[in-house]
Amino acid sequence: MSIPVIQPVPQFNFIVTMWDTPAQTSATDIVTAAATAAINVASQFLFGAFSEVTGLNADIEVETYQEGGLNTQPHRFFKTAKYSNLTLKHGVTFNTAMWDWIQQVTTSKKKIRKSGMVMLLDRGGPNLVGAGLPGLDKLPVAAWIFHNGLPERLQGPSLNAKGNEIAIETLEINHEGLSRISPSMIPGLGDLNSALGAAVSVSASVGLAGGAALVS
């Protein structure tokens, strides 16, 4: 498999959207929900802008088996996949959605799980305002989807009236899986070239061959 040489975006921002996970969720349902979240951000369960997201990690635990009589090397086998907690930080506002979710999980018999998407946008790229994609003003570069998350920890800000720092809240989400998908896999965003029309000029200098999709 060949990997084309494409320069990473030097400037970026991102959006985070979340939605209640249905009781029965298929892979198609997850992508469809992500599409709705991406194309109509305003209607989704949205905590607001985050200043930092960490934990976009996937690890594989490998089991070692030493075969009797074979002293040159052990055998390695896949055991399980492991995912780090997602950690999201944002400045304190009037929005209480994070605390409301904690309260619901803590006090209600039926716990609401949430799935969500982190979408990376090219901040220095073309402006998509007016391209027919509400909530998206810059070109999507990458997207990560997490599944069946529960809030594990919510840390409030450290308050010091003598300082000038912004009050920050931190939410840790324990989830059951993380996938990176191409934005072109999300229904609606795959037709981004058509939506942009003449607003975007494909240039060989950014490593895209003639006729290649802008979202990959």
Under the banding of pLDDT at 50, 70 and 90, the label for residue 117 is confident
Average pLDDT over every residue of 146-162: 91
- Look at the block and give the residue holding tokens 């055998």: 75
In a domain, 185, yes or no: yes
- The SS3 assignment for 187 reads coil
125 residue type, one letter: G
Higher pLDDT: 133 or 68? It is 68
State the pLDDT at residue 204: 31
Token pair for residue 38?
């991406």
68 domain-assigned: yes
The reply to whether 98 falls in a domain is yes
Amino acid at 113: R
Q: What is the mean pLDDT of residues 16-28?
A: 72
Confidence of residue 213 (pLDDT cuts 50, 70, 90): very low
For residue 39, give its domain range. 12-199
CA 13, CA 123: separation in Å to the nearest integer?
6
- pLDDT-wise least confident of 27-36, 136-145, 148-157: 27-36
Q: What is the CATH number of the domain that holds 144?
A: 2.30.110
DSSP string across 38-62: HH-GGGSB-----SEEE---EEEEE
167 contact partners, CB below 8 Å, separation of at least 6: 91, 92, 157, 159
The pTM for the full model equals 0.72
Domain membership of residue 66 (yes or no) is: yes
Q: Could you tell me if residue 101 is inside a domain? A: yes
Tens-place pLDDT, residues 189-201: 555 444 444 333 3
What's the confidence (pLDDT) of residue 42? 41
Q: How confident is the model at residue 132 (pLDDT cuts 50, 70, 90)?
A: low
In a domain, 156, yes or no: yes
Is residue 43 in a domain?
yes
Helices (H) and strands (E) in the chain, counts: 3, 9
Q: Cα separation of 102 and 153, whole Å?
A: 8
> Mean pLDDT across the chain, nearest whole number?
75
Q: Could you tell me what percent of the chain has a pLDDT over 70?
A: 65
Please tell me the predicted confidence (pLDDT) of residue 44.
42
Number of domains into which the chain is organized = 1
Q: Are 17 and 45 in contact (CB under 8 A)?
A: yes
What single letter denotes the amino acid at residue 170?
A: T
Instruction: Quick: pLDDT tens for 24-72.
Output: 555 556 666 655 555 444 444 455 568 899 999 999 999 998 888 888 8
Examine residue 205 and state whether it is found in any structural domain, yes or no: no
Q: Which of 114, 121, 170, 123 is nearest to 141 (CA)?
A: 121
